[in-house]
Amino acid sequence: MAEVKPPLPALLFCGALTAFVDSFDWARRRLSETFGPIQAESETWPFTHTDYYAGQMGAPLRRLFLAFEQPVAQDFLAEAKIVTNALEAELAREGRFPVRRPLNLDPGLILPSRLILASCKDHAHRVYLGRGIYAEVTLLWRGGEWQPLPWTYPDFREARCHAFFADLRRRHLERLRGRSRSG
């Protein structure tokens, strides 16, 4: 019989997408109030892969990733998605932007072997976590680099995303190694 072992803690990050760059400041503030200090932030990049969001979010869209200092339990992902959905709704209710959805926040986890995203949408490659939230393995770590899967979003296939997430993975591994030496 297999032995049940506690899973490794994960590094929580959040992708933000908006046509209103000043909403990134709002996101930084509210996300750090919610999830704790931010340890790393990507550059902001143009999001040009699809016009799927244009009707509800405006255009042109920009992408930003934020990673948090405090590791989380892997089963926290569903709660993180529920919280980020509430934050999106909070900003929309403020009415400061001329669109229905001024900000898209998508939390995810980085582990040594994979990057996982949360979603409210079911699909064949997603696993139900509960409370209307699904998890998707979006990238695998193989051969010293991130490997996309057939369903990986186009922006998560980009070298600049892979470089940012590889740095986050390295930091997370250092923290895990430090934890194992001290505990």
Dist CA 57 CA 75 (whole Å):
30
Entry pTM: 0.95
Looking at domain 11-182, which of 3.30.70, 3.30.160, 2.20.200, 3.10.290 is its CATH number?
A: 3.30.70
Dist CA 142 CA 122 (whole Å):
26
The single residue listed with the structure tokens 């994960």 is 10
Q: Letter for the amino acid at 26?
A: W
Closest by CA to 16, choosing from 2, 8, 26, is 26
Kindly state the percentage of the chain with pLDDT values over 90.
92
Say yes or no to pLDDT of 16 above 60.
yes
Digit-coded pLDDT (tens) for 25-49 = 999 999 999 999 999 999 999 999 8
Q: How high is the pLDDT of residue 178? A: 86
The single residue listed with the structure tokens 């909070």 is 90
Dist CA 12 CA 175 (whole Å):
13
Digit-coded pLDDT (tens) for 148-158 = 999 999 999 99
Closest by CA to 161, choosing from 67, 95, 23, is 67
The single residue listed with the structure tokens 């997408």 is 17
Kindly state the percentage of the chain with pLDDT values over 70.
98
Task: Give me the helices (H) in the chain, please.
Answer: 22-35, 54-57, 77-94, 159-182
